[in-house]
Structure 1
Amino acid sequence: LGDRHPSTLGSINNLGGLLHAKGDLDGAEALYREALQAKRETLGDRHPDTLISISNLGRLLKHQGDLDGAEALYREALEGQRETFGDRHPNTLTSIN
């Protein structure tokens, strides 16, 4: 499928999630950042898959104690959800929560 195919990027993100769950935060961060950068370049900043990756990286940074970094990403994800889906969409409401 190729390095930039959405399915490949989803797999990179999923592996990041697994490493996150296992406690390998550095490994997870590298994969989350790789997936996010590629999604921004290929899908755009407001694509739903990109917004998921933004939230995932934010959650990881929160667990690493980088609260300022996490806040910036959470705010970006929320703004993107609002622009993409509107204020009442379940994805937006999940970001608010």
Structure 2
Amino acid sequence: MKSLLIAASLIAMPPAFAAIPMLNYDCPNDVQIHTDENGPVYINGQEAKVTQDKNNTVVAKGEGVTVQITLNDDGTASVSYTDPDGNTGVCDPAEGD
């Protein structure tokens, strides 16, 4: 019974990702990235599927775009993207942030 309860609690727990800060980034080709603190990640206003790539890197996929968010040791984030055509680029903080 105890192992069943532990298994059930693991299923109900959301996946643990690197602490995602609240971000608003603009990328080339009209790609906008928004994250709430600790997730979720939105690409062009649509919630993306998020996976952990490395301890300090989160990968989000949605709207045909793959976004890589790397949390730097100084607490800042580096954000890059790949669009459906294979174009890649670095994203910058949205103006006003």
Give the structure-2-normalised TM-score: 0.23
- Relative to its length, the structure with more strand (as a share) is 2
Of the two, which has the highest radius of gyration? 2
Give the structure-1-normalised TM-score: 0.23
